[in-house]
Every structure is written in structure tokens, then in C-alpha cells.
Structure 1
Amino acid sequence: MQRFGTLSFGHYGPLGGGRELTAGDSLHQAIDLAQGMDDLGVDGVYFRVHHFARQQASPMPLLAAIAARTERIEVGTGVIDMRYENPLYLAEEAAAVDLISDGRLALGVSRGSPESVVRGFEAFGYTGSQDPRGADIAREHFSTFLRAIEGEGMAERDPNSPFGDGTGRQRIEPYSPGLRSRIWWGAGNSESAEWAGRMGVNLMSSTLLTEDKGLPFDELQAQQIDAFREAWREAGHPGEPRTSVSRSIFPITTDEEDMYFGGRQDGDGVGYIDGMRSTFGKTYAAAPDVLVEQLLEDAAIQTADTLMLTIPSQLGVAFNLRMVESFAKYVAPALGWVGTRV
């Protein structure tokens, strides 16, 4: 494990006892938390994207704000639902954030998670999908997005226009060199992972895989990563791609943490989600020394270079910073992480 960061859903709404976390609270706390993690030397801060839900939905303004308030931490998504995206507008936004951050964007995209509404992407104007889950729209949008950030001309210049310069087809602006190497695809199964390898993008693998082969979750996920890397090599892409996995991991060092997460550790699960038989990853919650032993046995964590910790953002900045700092001090070094500031 070379890097670790946090993955947040950005939940907001009623907290109980008459308290409520507003959308504004959630956004401001995300910025404050990212600043604190930057000071700790944590490697990345990433956000889930869900539409029609009280969660983060439009990540680019948030990522830009974090990039402007931090120095070194990677800012990213895990993942943006490409069914909902105008690929050229996303290309402009992604390039802008990458430039603001001086190349610290890690943009995770995919078909997206199961929705809380029926074919919500159609409400955004993206119709005509022949797939019940819109996977064809997602991949079509993704292909156009990649061409745009690579600098391909996307529209013919009007020779009669007094604006712009040059001739022929014009690329999207701004253009950020190197952004293409910082794009990730969120894969839910081996086929999708292999496709990402052939496309030459990095791999994000979640705590949910839409397949069941009778294997423990971590072994199934490690196989997915191996298939991705093999597809990358066979396609002839240069260098080594990055791979990430996400986990719910809670070091318990205080009575408060024990109150929230003690007894929460569970095993893998198998069930149906979005109409597909799926395998769910376990939750790890224990004293740091116990966590080290358990995580060293997690095959996917051992093969991926980046670990994303799903965090309970509703519990506030101070609580989450303590959790992250405990992981950085007592757990991450034993997994191979070399921190620079903690």
C-alpha cells in the first residue's frame, strides 16, 4: 500500500435529537477535513457522487475549493456517474480542477452506482439507452470525454468568426497536459476491469462487486485487479497503472469510537443489488494491532497501491480527523505506507 485516503458519501440531513446537517454544512466540513488531512500527510480525499440523494452530487466546485485550500493532497471522485454527464463540459471542468490543483486530480468515473430513482439520467436529458441500466450511454460519454481531454478537435472553427484562432477542428479549453493519466474507471466486475485495462485508465474497485464466484470478497477483488493489469499489459500501454480499493476500516482507540463501531465488524455478504447477484466487502473495526493482522490478510489491499477509507462524515471534522490520524499512525505503516508528516 503506497497511498491511502478517505472516501466520503457526503451524507447530510437529520442527525437525530433535533439536529440537522445541511448541504452547506456537509460541503464546508468536507473542505475543512481535507485541509486537516493535507496537514497530516494523508495522500488523497475522494467523494462518491449520487444524484437525487442527500449526498455529494456536483463534485467539481467542491474539488476546486479543496484544491485551492490544500498543497499536496490528491483530490478526486469515486465515482462520477457518466450516464448523467455532458462529456465535453466534464472535460472542461476536469481540466480546470487539474490546473488549479497543479495536477492533483484523480477523477474516478463509471456507469455509476444503483440509483434511488428510475432511470434518473433520462431526467438529465440523456435518453435512448438500449440497456436497462444505461451502461451504453456511460461508455459512449466516457469515450467522448477521453477524446476531449486528450486534446482531439471536437468542433469545427467558424472561419467567419472574429473570435478564436487557428483553423480546422478545435479542442476543448482549458487543456491540462497529463490529465489523461489521472483518469480512473470504477469497475464492478472482472469484465469491466479488463475493459478499463484495455482503455488504458487506472482502476478503482469498490466494496461491492456485481459478481459471485464463491470466493471471499478480497480474493475476488484481487482477481479483478490481476485481470485489469493483464489487460493493460496486453494492450501495450506503457508504465504501471494505479489501482485502488475501498474499505470500511475503523481503528478503535477511545470509548467514543468503541460506542460507535465496537461490535460492527462483520463478514462478507452476498445478495442482490440493482438486479445483479453481488458480493459485499466486510467492515473492519478493532484495536489497531488487530486491524494490522486482519488487513495483512486482505488479498486485495495487499495488491492494490491505494486504499480508500470510507468515513462517517456525519460525525464531523474533529472525529474523522482523529480516526484518520489513528490509521496513519498505528495501522498504515505496517501495511507499507510511508508517511511524511504524521
Structure 2
Amino acid sequence: MTIDQLSRTHGGEAPQPGRFRHEALLYAGAEQFVERTAAFVRDALAADEPVMVAVIEPRAGMLRDALGADTRRVQFVDMETVGRNPARIIPVWQEWAARHARTARAFRGVGEPIWRGRSEAELAECHLHEALLNTAFDDGPPWWLVCPYDVSSLGPDVVATARHTHPAMIDGRPTSAEARQPNAQFTQAAMYTTPWSEPTGTLYQTGFGMNDLPRIRQAVAACAAHEHVAPDRVDDLVLVANELACNSIKHGGGTGTLRLWRERGELICEVRDRGLITDPLAGRRKPDPRSDGGAGLWIANLLCDLVRIRSTAQDGTTVRVHIEARTGRI
């Protein structure tokens, strides 16, 4: 399956017992968040099911207060750290699922990757993350993940898109069967084909081949330093640019194009080639150390603030990585 063939329609199907359940939990404001997520967590604990909560502060603190002594039985993960780059979230859930699939009959999670203040680019990748969860765990262990959406602070387009990435929607307490409705709008839409806007200006652009990697590394380092990227992040970006260029040379026809530009306080590095990525979860699975390849996108996701991929048979593959750039002098 290629990433531009990701769409599958399951509209209106009820969640199947013994399989992964991925549901959007709608709420309005902090009080409803606590009420609805706490009920979900308490039901898990009552059934002796492990549960992990990945949300941002202050939501996590409010839920801890509501759970009281039960908090010690819940694993909390800071979503603002883990999920700044949404492509890092699935590996966290994969590790969690793998650990508990060996010992628990069932387990649950609460994951809120979208909050007010996310940029448009981040929102697009969050929606892609939500769609890819269905692929990542479709044949995996039976566990239940609810994804809270604050309808009082998120735009209606954000909630509308959630209806395309979740097989079921919950508008009420997750323990209430009548509140859970199969989602007729669920399409698991392929967002790897959504077109991007072009930058208004470019700091650096070049074509490259096998013999150009040293020049690429030097150019990226110089540009990042000039744009006040922190020194350790300069090293990160140089490593990532080199990995992506190597991918283009090996898998993208032997050549590629690299561009750098600044946008909204970030330095963006783009690598484009004629190749096609066939794995929709590329960069979201930890690479096998015994295999040759698969590490470039994984490294990019670990080191960058945001990683975006578009890949089609017609247009080839484009990868954009974002790293924070300071506005003042170092």
C-alpha cells in the first residue's frame, strides 16, 4: 500500500470487539474534559486495565487532581513534549501497546494531540497522525484509545476533520453506550497528497547527487547558523539534511533538490526527489538495526520540531523538516 492509497472507507461500522478502538471524545471546556476522561480512566482501573494518558498541562494536572489516589495507577505522558512533532506520538503508543499486550487482556489510552495554538502545519500533521493510528494498530492487540477534542476552543474545521479520522465519535461519558455512535463520515482520508503552499522566499536552493553531500552539509550548517538556530540544533539539522539527501540518492533516482527558508520563527529544510514512499508509517516505526535503511525519516522525526511528507507516484517525494530559529543574535 502506498501512502497515496491510504484511504479506506469504514463509514458507519460499529467498533468491533477484540480489536483496536479509536474514538474521538468531544467536550466543551475544562470541566467536561475532567468529567469525561476521569470516567474513562476509572472504568479502566476498575477493570484492572492499564491506562496511559497523553495530554498537555494544565489538563493533566486537573485530571490527576480528579483521580486522587488513583493517579499512581495511571501512566502520564506530556503530550506537549512528545507530540510537538506529531509523528513521534505513534511510536509511544506502539511501545505502550507492545508492553501491555503481553500481560493484559485489555488496556486503554487517552491521547489529545490537538490543542488551541497549534499552527496550520502542525494541525495538518496531527490529523494525519490520527488517520495513521487506524493503520498502525488495525491488526494489533485489542485496546481502546479516546482522543479528546475541545469543541469550545478548536475551530469547527478541526472537529469536522476528526470525523474523518475516527471510526466513532463520543459526545458524552465514554462509559455510555448511547453516547457512542458509529461515525458515517469516517474515511481515513489520505492526507499525504494534500498540496502545500510555496515559500515566499528561499534562503538557499541547490540540486545534489552522490558527490555533493559535503557541500550540502556545509551549506545547511552555514544557513542555520546565520538564521540563529541554536548550535546543538544546527548539528541536528545538518544530520537530518544529510540523511534525507542520502535517501534521495539511494531511493529517489540518485539526485534531489534541497531548499531552505525561514517561516514563522522556524527554519525549514525541504528535500525533494523522484522516489515514492510505499509505507504510510515510514519514520514512525523504529528501524530494525539489522536492516539496511529506514533510519533517515526516523532520525528526522526524533530531532526536528515538525516533519512533513508528501509522496505520490506522479510528483515523487517531498520532505519538509522544521527547526526553531531564534529572532535575535546568539
Shorter-chain TM-score bucket reads under 0.3
TM-score (norm 2): 0.25
Q: Which has the higher contact order (CA 8 A, sep 6+)?
A: 2
TM-score (norm 1): 0.25
